[in-house]
Amino acid sequence: MLRSLHSNKNGVVFVTVLVIILAMTIVTVSIISLNVNQALLTEKEYRTIQAEVMGYGAFYKTVAERYTDKDFKTYSSSQTLQNITFSVTGAIDDLNGGPNGTDVLDVLVTY
């Protein structure tokens, strides 16, 4: 009886198959996790690029308005892109705090 248990290879095959299934499960979960992380990072980068473009737009709009009206100090706008609201504010600080006595322009984008 003991000899038949020691010579039985079914237990070894079962354990080997179990280890392979466990390893494949871990690899699959890791791949799915990496894909989800990559998708979230891509979405964040996409929003950051949209915010940057809106910031540039606010910058140029504020500068253009300042050229036409010397008393112009703030520009604000709000846009909704793909159900995300971007708020842009451009403000000119005319206390000559910039280099060589120039005015400072701050642009803030929130989303």
Domain extent at residue 84: 2-110
Q: Read off the tokens for 20.
A: 């392979």
The structure's pTM equals: 0.61
Q: Read off the tokens for 27.
A: 């690899």
> What's the number of domains the chain is made of?
1
pLDDT of residue 4: 54
d(CA 77, CA 88): 5
Residue type, 5: L
Residue 95 DSSP symbol? S
Which ranges of the chain have pLDDT less than 50?
1-2
pLDDT of residue 12: 82
